[in-house]
Amino acid sequence: AELSTLQRQAQQIEELLITDSDTDGLDSEERAPARDIALTDTERKCLELMAEGYAPVRLARALGLSGTDLNVLEAKIIGKFNASNRFQAVAKAVLLGVIRA
């Protein structure tokens, strides 16, 4: 079941990347370099766990956060990467070299 979930998430990320690269209209020089995206240790750990496929409940437990606090943290991460959702934020973080897949 976990493998199926990860494969589905990987497919969704790939689709988002294709859509994002087709519609963003930015040259590579206009994209924010990884060094300009300042992440706290908690945000970085959250991104890494999201990349591993952690579901929100498991992610909140691993980070010691409430569901509400996790939602706020994810919203900050998504905003920092100018992403539409958590999958796109993870994909952008990986592509920028902020985290490893």
Q: In this structure, what CATH number is given to the domain that contains residue 63?
A: 1.10.10.10
Number of domains in the chain: 1
Burial label for 82, CB within 10 Å (0-12, 13-18, 19+), is middle
Residue 101 placed within a domain: no
Tell me the two tokens of residue 7.
């494969």
Residue-number span of the structural domain to which 73 is assigned:
2-95
> Does the reported pTM lie above 0.85?
no
Q: For the beta carbon of residue 92, count every other beta carbon within 10 angstroms.
A: 25
Residue 48 lies in a domain: yes
Query: Does some domain include residue 100?
Result: no
Neighbours of 63 (CB within 10 A): 16
**Structural contact between residues 86 and 74, judged by C-beta atoms closer than 8 angstroms:** yes
Q: What is the pLDDT of residue 14?
A: 72
Residue 30 falls inside a structural domain: yes
Question: pLDDT digit string (tens) for 32-81?
Answer: 455 568 999 999 999 999 999 999 999 999 999 999 999 999 999 999 99
